[in-house]
Protein backbone atom coordinates (compact mmCIF):
# COMPACT_ATOMS: atom_id res chain seq x y z
CA UNK A 1 0.00 0.00 0.00
CA UNK A 2 1.44 3.38 -0.94
CA UNK A 3 1.36 6.39 1.36
CA UNK A 4 -1.60 8.05 -0.40
CA UNK A 5 -3.88 5.03 -0.04
CA UNK A 6 -2.80 4.61 3.59
CA UNK A 7 -3.71 8.23 4.27
CA UNK A 8 -7.12 7.78 2.66
CA UNK A 9 -7.90 4.78 4.87
CA UNK A 10 -7.16 6.63 8.13
CA UNK A 11 -10.16 8.00 9.99
CA UNK A 12 -10.58 11.75 10.25
CA UNK A 13 -8.90 12.60 13.55
CA UNK A 14 -10.91 15.63 14.64
CA UNK A 15 -8.59 16.57 17.51
CA UNK A 16 -5.61 17.07 15.17
CA UNK A 17 -4.97 20.12 13.02
CA UNK A 18 -3.48 19.73 9.53
CA UNK A 19 -0.04 20.22 11.07
CA UNK A 20 -0.62 17.33 13.48
CA UNK A 21 -1.02 19.47 16.59
CA UNK A 22 -3.80 18.67 19.03
CA UNK A 23 -6.64 21.17 19.41
CA UNK A 24 -10.10 21.38 20.89
CA UNK A 25 -12.76 20.64 18.28
CA UNK A 26 -15.07 23.53 17.38
CA UNK A 27 -18.60 22.26 18.00
CA UNK A 28 -20.33 25.64 17.67
CA UNK A 29 -21.90 24.76 14.30
CA UNK A 30 -23.37 21.46 15.56
CA UNK A 31 -26.98 21.15 16.60
CA UNK A 32 -27.70 20.62 20.27
CA UNK A 33 -29.32 17.21 20.58
CA UNK A 34 -30.08 14.88 23.48
CA UNK A 35 -27.06 12.64 23.95
CA UNK A 36 -26.56 9.74 26.31
CA UNK A 37 -23.69 7.41 27.06
CA UNK A 38 -23.52 4.30 29.19
CA UNK A 39 -20.20 2.89 30.39
CA UNK A 40 -19.44 -0.25 32.34
CA UNK A 41 -16.54 -1.56 34.41
CA UNK A 42 -15.74 -4.08 37.11
CA UNK A 43 -13.62 -4.44 40.19
CA UNK A 44 -12.58 -7.93 41.21
CA UNK A 45 -11.72 -8.90 44.78
CA UNK A 46 -11.53 -11.84 47.14
CA UNK A 47 -14.89 -13.21 48.35
CA UNK A 48 -13.99 -12.13 51.90
CA UNK A 49 -13.51 -8.53 50.78
CA UNK A 50 -16.84 -8.52 48.98
CA UNK A 51 -18.53 -9.98 52.07
CA UNK A 52 -16.98 -7.34 54.35
CA UNK A 53 -18.10 -4.48 52.09
CA UNK A 54 -21.60 -5.91 51.75
CA UNK A 55 -21.82 -6.30 55.55
CA UNK A 56 -20.70 -2.69 56.05
CA UNK A 57 -17.49 -3.79 57.79
CA UNK A 58 -14.92 -1.79 55.82
CA UNK A 59 -12.56 0.33 57.94
CA UNK A 60 -13.28 3.57 56.02
CA UNK A 61 -17.07 3.42 56.24
CA UNK A 62 -19.64 3.58 53.44
CA UNK A 63 -17.60 2.16 50.55
CA UNK A 64 -20.36 1.96 47.96
CA UNK A 65 -22.00 5.30 48.75
CA UNK A 66 -18.66 7.08 48.62
CA UNK A 67 -17.68 5.39 45.34
CA UNK A 68 -21.04 6.22 43.76
CA UNK A 69 -20.76 9.88 44.76
CA UNK A 70 -17.15 10.01 43.50
CA UNK A 71 -18.29 8.69 40.11
CA UNK A 72 -20.97 11.38 39.84
CA UNK A 73 -18.53 14.11 40.84
CA UNK A 74 -15.91 12.81 38.39
CA UNK A 75 -18.32 12.92 35.45
CA UNK A 76 -18.91 16.60 36.24
CA UNK A 77 -15.13 17.24 36.27
CA UNK A 78 -14.16 15.38 33.09
CA UNK A 79 -13.13 18.54 31.20
CA UNK A 80 -10.65 19.28 34.00
CA UNK A 81 -9.12 15.80 33.69
CA UNK A 82 -9.08 15.09 29.94
CA UNK A 83 -7.31 17.97 28.14
CA UNK A 84 -9.46 18.31 24.99
CA UNK A 85 -12.89 17.54 26.45
CA UNK A 86 -15.48 20.31 26.38
CA UNK A 87 -16.96 21.44 29.70
CA UNK A 88 -20.55 20.24 29.54
CA UNK A 89 -23.79 21.07 31.37
CA UNK A 90 -24.65 17.51 32.40
CA UNK A 91 -28.33 16.93 33.08
CA UNK A 92 -28.17 13.38 34.40
CA UNK A 93 -25.42 11.28 35.94
CA UNK A 94 -26.44 7.93 37.39
CA UNK A 95 -23.84 5.56 38.84
CA UNK A 96 -24.85 2.07 39.94
CA UNK A 97 -22.55 -0.32 41.79
CA UNK A 98 -23.90 -3.85 41.96
CA UNK A 99 -22.38 -6.83 43.76
CA UNK A 100 -21.36 -9.66 41.44
CA UNK A 101 -20.50 -12.82 43.41
CA UNK A 102 -19.37 -14.54 40.18
CA UNK A 103 -16.37 -12.15 39.85
CA UNK A 104 -16.31 -11.84 42.88
CA UNK A 105 -16.58 -8.07 43.10
CA UNK A 106 -18.75 -5.31 41.69
CA UNK A 107 -20.17 -4.25 38.36
CA UNK A 108 -20.09 -0.48 37.90
CA UNK A 109 -22.43 1.24 35.42
CA UNK A 110 -22.66 4.95 34.65
CA UNK A 111 -25.26 6.68 32.50
CA UNK A 112 -24.76 10.31 31.53
CA UNK A 113 -27.22 12.49 29.60
CA UNK A 114 -27.46 16.07 28.36
CA UNK A 115 -28.68 18.22 25.50
CA UNK A 116 -25.62 19.74 23.82
CA UNK A 117 -23.44 19.93 20.72
CA UNK A 118 -21.09 17.12 21.74
CA UNK A 119 -21.34 13.71 23.35
CA UNK A 120 -20.82 12.42 26.88
CA UNK A 121 -18.87 9.20 26.33
CA UNK A 122 -15.82 10.49 28.20
CA UNK A 123 -17.97 11.59 31.13
CA UNK A 124 -19.53 8.12 31.46
CA UNK A 125 -16.14 6.41 31.20
CA UNK A 126 -14.65 8.82 33.75
CA UNK A 127 -17.52 8.18 36.16
CA UNK A 128 -16.95 4.41 36.01
CA UNK A 129 -13.18 4.75 36.34
CA UNK A 130 -13.27 7.05 39.35
CA UNK A 131 -16.01 5.05 41.06
CA UNK A 132 -13.81 1.94 40.69
CA UNK A 133 -10.73 3.79 41.96
CA UNK A 134 -12.67 5.10 44.95
CA UNK A 135 -14.01 1.65 45.73
CA UNK A 136 -10.41 0.41 45.67
CA UNK A 137 -9.28 3.24 47.93
CA UNK A 138 -12.09 2.66 50.42
CA UNK A 139 -11.39 -1.10 50.62
CA UNK A 140 -7.60 -1.30 50.20
CA UNK A 141 -7.14 -1.89 53.93
CA UNK A 142 -9.02 -5.15 53.39
CA UNK A 143 -7.24 -6.15 50.16
CA UNK A 144 -4.59 -4.57 47.97
CA UNK A 145 -4.83 -7.13 45.15
CA UNK A 146 -8.20 -5.92 43.81
CA UNK A 147 -8.28 -5.52 40.00
CA UNK A 148 -10.13 -2.83 38.07
CA UNK A 149 -11.11 -4.33 34.71
CA UNK A 150 -13.29 -4.18 31.62
CA UNK A 151 -13.96 -0.44 31.54
CA UNK A 152 -15.72 0.23 28.25
CA UNK A 153 -18.43 2.17 26.46
CA UNK A 154 -21.62 0.13 26.25
CA UNK A 155 -23.71 2.57 24.23
CA UNK A 156 -24.15 6.12 23.09
CA UNK A 157 -27.02 7.92 21.41
CA UNK A 158 -27.39 11.25 19.65
CA UNK A 159 -25.17 13.36 17.53
CA UNK A 160 -23.94 13.37 13.95
CA UNK A 161 -22.16 10.01 14.19
CA UNK A 162 -25.36 8.30 15.30
CA UNK A 163 -26.01 5.61 17.86
CA UNK A 164 -23.48 3.03 19.05
CA UNK A 165 -24.10 -0.25 20.86
CA UNK A 166 -21.14 -2.42 21.85
CA UNK A 167 -21.10 -6.06 20.81
CA UNK A 168 -21.95 -8.29 23.74
Which residues are identified as catalytic?
137
Residue 123 annotated as part of some ligand binding site: yes
Q: Are 127 and 39 in contact (CB under 8 A)?
A: yes
Residue 85 annotated as part of some ligand binding site: yes
Residue 84 annotated as part of some ligand binding site: yes
Q: Spell out a b/e string for 16-32, using b for 16 or more CB atoms within 10 Å of the CB, else e.
A: eeeeeeeeeeebeeeee
Within 8 A by CB and 6+ apart from 58, the residues are 52, 138, 139, 141, 142
Residue 143 annotated as part of some ligand binding site: no
Residue 23 annotated as part of some ligand binding site: no
Q: Which residues are annotated as a binding site?
A: 84-86, 122-123
Q: Which residues are annotated as a binding site for substrate?
A: 84-86, 122-123
Amino acid sequence: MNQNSAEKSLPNLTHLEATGQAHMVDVSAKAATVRTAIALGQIQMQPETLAAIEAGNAPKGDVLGTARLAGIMAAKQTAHLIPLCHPLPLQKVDVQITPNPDLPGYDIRAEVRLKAETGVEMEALTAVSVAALTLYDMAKALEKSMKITNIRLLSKTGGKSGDYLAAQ
